[in-house]
Amino acid sequence: MTKSTISRIIHRYAKLAQVHPVEGKGLRHSHASYLINEFNVSVLVLSKRLGHSSPEITLKHYSHLWGGLDADIAEQIAGNITIKTAGQNQVRFVGNQAVKYDQLSPAKLPAKTVAEA
């Protein structure tokens, strides 16, 4: 089919549906936008589907449509990471002071320091 054939088909069905005709390029953009917004399709899949020579071309035209996904990802991982702290600390701080190795018992010294002793 040539460009004029596609245009005639679109105009014929638009007239039957009593809507304004849309250019073929507009249908292509609508389809790409629909796939991104409804199915969260990846840039690689969309690039291949649209026949782009590289994903960079797809990103150049459609990257703004993936912008809201960051909030979705942040919502999904919220509460997924837990931080566990030690129940008891090996060093007892009484104020603003530095800890010296000679103040620690040999069991609490790093392995390198114990071997040197």
The 3 state secondary structure assigned to 42-111 is CHHHHHHHHCCCCHHHHHHHHHHHHCCHHHHHHHHHCCCCCCCCCCCCCCCCCCCCCCCHHHCCHHHCCH
Residue 56's closest CA among 47, 68, 65?
47
User: Is there a contact between 81 and 97 (Cβ–Cβ < 8 Å)?
Assistant: no
pLDDT at 71: 77
pLDDT at 81: 77
pLDDT at 74: 81
pLDDT at 91: 72
Q: Which parts of the chain sit beneath pLDDT 50?
A: 113-114, 117
Residue extents of the structural domains in the chain: 3-77
Say which residue the tokens 């190795």 belong to. 101
User: Is there a contact between 55 and 71 (Cβ–Cβ < 8 Å)?
Assistant: no
pLDDT at 111: 59
pLDDT at 14: 94
pTM for this one?
0.53
pLDDT at 2: 62
pLDDT at 24: 84
How far CA 32 is from CA of 24, 28, 35, 102, 115, in Å, comes to 13, 6, 5, 67, 64
What is the length of the chain?
A: 117
pLDDT at 77: 83
